[in-house]
Amino acid sequence: MSKSNKKLVAKNKNEWESKDERVPKIIGMALLLIAAYLFVAFVSYFFTWKEDQDKVLRFSWSLLLESDLSVENWLGRLGAIVSNMFFYWGFGLPSFIIIYLCYIYGIALLKQQPVDHFRIILRKSLITMLVLSIFFAFIFKSFDFPWGGTFGNSINFWMTNFIGNIGMILLFVFGGIGFITWVFNPNYQDVTVSGAKNNTLNYVKNIFQNQTQTNSSNENITQKDNLEIVSNDVSTNQLENVEPTQKNTSLAMDLISNSDFDLNTSVPKTTNSVSDDLEIIQTTYEPVLIDEITDEEPLPPTDHNYKPIESAVIDEGEEEINAHLINAQGLYDPTLELSSYELPNLSLLNDYSDQKIEIDRTELENNKDQIINTLRDYKIEITKIRATVGPTVTLYEIIPAPGVRIAKIKNLEDDIALNLAALGIRIIAPIPGRGTIGIEVPNKNKQMVSLKEVFLSEKFKKSTMDLPIALGKTISNEVFVADLTKMPHLLIAGATGQGKSVGINTILMSLLFKQHPAHVKLILIDPKKVELFPYSAIENHFLGFLPDQMEPIVTDTTKVIHTLSSLCVEMDNRYSLLQKASVRTIKEYNEKFTMRQLNPKKGHQFLPFIVLIIDEFADLIMTAGKEIELPIGRLAQLSRAVGIHLIIATQRPSVNIITGVIKANFPARLAFKVSSKVDSRTILDGGGADQLIGRGDMLLSLGGDMVRLQCAFVDTPEVEKVINFIAKQKGYSTPFFLPEYSGNDDTSAAKAGFSISDIDEFFEDAARLVVQNQTGSTSMIQRRLKLGYNRAGRIMDQLEAVGIVGPSEGSKPRDVLVMDEYQLEKYLEDLKSKS
């Protein structure tokens, strides 16, 4: 090419590139307007084509100017003319593809995307429109509506005369098979229809998987790419020294030695590229095949592993009875009453495996460069840096050069956050037990941690914990499972909308997926009345509440006080049973009971774990104060040994809500994002919770150790499906009732000073009811006489005062001292005479 021609081409190119960028935007908006106009006109054509067809069938330009021409199309004469042109004279129903093309080209021009990328879509769309036009004309040729338009009708008429109707059917059938063969290249070795179908589906799946891998950009790193880079950039000796974070495959790229930086200056040596100095570690797991068989099989239940206690103290004369019972009936099985109960299966949970996000190498390198440059601006050198990639946060570990003060790096938290333009930068200086300084940076593309994925992990499936709860994943992609009995209580805090309710559902789902109703009972307190109400459907399986309570979920503040006080009574009763059995913990007690070393006739019974969950603790403290705090403090101090565990959640972790008494007895704290450093120090005794990024990002403090986790996500429909699965199964005949409680109210006053003149008008009815049933129960009086709990309690105290029933014995019904109604009538006559 001559110099003049080159100059001309360059000039034309420059002129084209210098065109006003507003022009393609205007064209794009025009195309979108055309698409919208055609869509309305086409839709209207379905309803108005009969009325308008004879008016616009013979097109002439004068039709546009005739003011007397009246049409029914929603867009007037032009709409009727255009829609008739495309449907009748054009391609029929497939004309909608024209709207699709106008839309995608209009969007591309508005976003200033190159339209050449849509050439394949344009070609395929036009071919599809032509083929469908012929197909619709053949299928609907007896219809009046122009399904295939003039184009389809003409081609169909010629081809039908040429090869006949049967020939057309065979042409379409084999044309479809040929299309599938060309696009998906299936293997038709299996001659059966089902075999061909399965092969085709498998190839479709493989095609989509291969397409996803092909379309991933060079920025996204796969495991194979990492290993190739290691082999190119890292020597064999260096690679052997890489320590994997897990037993599974680790991705390690490029190690930094002390020679990578000239420590005398702030400029790196020119012989080494900074971009090659990042070691990337990502814990990978073998893929879990989530198929129909896996989904239908429930997780293995928790094995509580009750073993005989050889040094057990057995009453004299009962050893032979114990051995006889074991030989005749075997060990006691608490699940026998609901032996047909099935644990929920994983098919009830959603699978989000298609939302996996690959590592962005470019993002990691940019963050690393920004961290290094920021430190160098303050004359801080480092000898090594590596990145551990988690689902939502990447941990950059740095080893500073000798002589660098840790506090100096810690004070640069805001500067690093500014340079990275990221929210939620957190510096851990130093990382305990690692000898490094950690900088946690949120990922731009965050990965969802699904509850199904967490439950499928071997760590949760094979857990031997008494009360395992799967909270989510750590920063190194490792599933985190904790034992609630070891915590033993959990305090949860976080601002509104940061994942607190999802965290509570995750804990509850963990218990429901691993526990039989005989082993655990849930006491749910929900002052907001909306978060935990779905669980009321499983009241006869897992829930526990007061006998007089109409709803299984506690919402009223007064009922909350009674529930907590009743739990204290239950705790005292359990300690009495442990004392009689000469054991120290609930596990030892249940082991003796399972081995039939305890006599049920002496009041012994199998004790399930009790988990108390309070969703909004701040509201209760504001309304009841000390009446709530005192029983909570007592339970937190004493209830661990008898299997009662507390989970308290609040959105306002202030010092007047989370008092010193509560904090002292809740060593396990779970903090979602909070609004201030003060709140973070209140819940965690340190900062960090205010720097989280929300949406399930949380910090767990266990005995001083801090772990950053991404909470497993479970949606409300998933929770409801699990609850419905349990509710449809057979439950216990009655829920788990807590002991009846009479507080320091009018009932105690009635006991202290009873007067005949104060006898309730329902006293006689209650007395007859108790004597007839020979059961002294406040809840029975309340239900049968339709009275409030306090009034029924006062009547019961009056019955005790006159000698009709005996004193309260905790959760047991009172003894009825009057044997028949004849004796009762004498009692009542004597009372009337005294009055």
Domains and CATH numbers, the chain: 16-184 (no CATH), 220-284+357-442 (3.30.980.40), 466-571+607-727 (3.40.50.300), 740-834 (1.10.10.10)
pLDDT digits 0-9 by tens, 143-156: 888 888 889 888 88
pLDDT of residue 35: 92
Tens digits of residue pLDDT in 494-505: 988 898 999 999
Given pLDDT bands bounded at 50, 70 and 90, which one contains residue 277? low
Question: Between β-strands 220-221 and 359-360, what pairing exists: parallel, antiparallel or unpaired?
Answer: antiparallel
Check whether 538 has a pLDDT greater than 80.
yes
Q: Which residue has the higher pLDDT, 222 or 323?
A: 323
Rounded to the nearest 5°, which phi and psi values hold at 697?
Answer: -75, 130
Q: Of 484, 526, 766, nearest to 639 (Cα)?
A: 484
CA 484/CA 467 separation, integer angstroms? 5
Task: Using a pLDDT cut of 90, give the percent of the chain over it.
Answer: 24
Work out the average pLDDT over 731-758.
64
CA–CA gap between residue 337 and residue 555 (Å, rounded): 30
Confidence at residue 811, expressed as pLDDT on a 0 to 100 scale: 63
pLDDT value at residue 58: 67
Average pLDDT over residues 580-602: 89
57 CB contacts (<8 Å, ≥6 apart)?
A: 84, 88
Q: Identify the band that residue 201 occupies on the pLDDT scale cut at 50, 70 and 90.
A: low
What letter represents residue 73's amino acid?
A: N
Q: CB of 544 within 8 A of CB of 521?
A: yes
Q: Looking up tokens 């109409």, which residue turns up? A: 550
Mean pLDDT of the chain: 78
Q: What is the pLDDT of residues 624-663, one digit of tens each?
A: 777 888 899 889 989 999 999 999 999 888 888 888 778 8
pLDDT at 284 over 60: no
Break the chain down into helix, strand, coil percent, rounded to 5. Answer: 50, 10, 35
Report how far apart, in Å, the C-alpha atoms of 465 and of each of 130, 339, 484, 673 are: 65, 22, 9, 29
Q: Which residue has the higher pLDDT, 65 or 556?
A: 556
What mean pLDDT comes out for the span 113-142?
84
Q: How large is the average pLDDT for residues 511-538?
A: 92
Which band of pLDDT confidence, cut at 50, 70 and 90, is reported for residue 276?
A: very low
CA distances from 800 to 1, 224, 227, 548, 835 (A): 116, 80, 81, 19, 18
Is pLDDT of 775 > 80?
yes
Query: What pLDDT digit, counting tens, does each position of 422-454 carry?
Result: 777 888 888 877 788 888 888 888 888 999 999
